Each structure stands twice: as C-alpha cells, then as structure tokens.
Amino acid sequence: MSTIRITQHVSAPRAAVWRSWTDPDELAAWFWPPAWEASAEFDAQPGGRWRLSSVVTGMAVGGDIAVVEPETRIVFTWQWDGDAEETLVTVTLRDADGGTDVEIVHERFAEEETRAGHEQGWHDCLARLTVPST
C-alpha cells in the first residue's frame, strides 16, 4: 500500500481554513476547477458522509467521516463513484507563520499509478485553496 503526504501553507487562521474544508459551499468553491461547477455535501461529524460532484464532468467522490477534531484534524474515506478502491484521507491543520499549515495524508493506494494521479490532484486542489474573509 502506498501513501501521499503533502503540506501546504495557507495565509489564514486555522478556524477559517477549517470552514473551507467542512462548509459544503466553501469546499465546492475551491476543491475542483471552477469550470467543473462542483457541488458538495459535508457532514463534519464521526459517522457523517461527504460528497463532491461535478455537474460538468459527471465525476463524483465521497465517503464516510471517521474522526473529527474541530479546527485540528478530520479523517475520511475516499471513493470515486464506480470505483471499488477505497482510500483514507487525514487532513491536519496547524498554526504556522501567521497562518495555517494544511497536511494531507492520503493512504491505502493499491497501485502506484493511482497514487501518483491523486498526488498531482492534491497539489492542484491545494493551489486553489483560498479562504474567504469573514
């Protein structure tokens, strides 16, 4: 099994970054390219479900939420619609340099090619992560 580990700094307070991950409207606004017209569901509690789908591409991914430590860590399964493979994602937020470090650990990939594609996808997603002013 193979794992991805990525850390990205975001110039925003941890509470705001947490909302960008767990508020469905905010998540849909940055996770996939805007042209994909994403919609999201995110029930940020253990046993909750999450889902992202694109009106334009028809792609969708979702899973179950396993662990929630508000403003610190969330762990959820990841499964593309129509795909048998289920992986695990841990998002950890840490105060750093006047903002927040976001660490993604995505694990349980059976094949290196799949892991590599997801690694590029995470870099693309995190490059779009912007935190609304509130």
Q: What is the mean pLDDT of each run of 10 residues along the chain (134 residues)?
A: 94 96 95 92 97 95 98 98 96 96 97 94 92 64
Check residue 132 and give its pLDDT: 66
Domains: count for the chain: 1
Q: Is residue 19 part of a domain?
A: yes
Q: Is residue 133 part of a domain?
A: no
Which residue pairs, CB below 8 angstroms and at least 24 apart, start in 111-114?
111/2, 112/2, 114/85
| DSSP code of residue 45 | S
**Would the pTM of this model clear 0.75, i.e. be above it?**
yes
Domain of 52, CATH number, reads 3.30.530.20
Domain of residue 93, residue span:
2-128
Q: Is residue 83 part of a domain?
A: yes
| DSSP code of residue 23 | S
β-strands 49-54, 60-69 pairing = antiparallel
Q: Is residue 134 part of a domain?
A: no
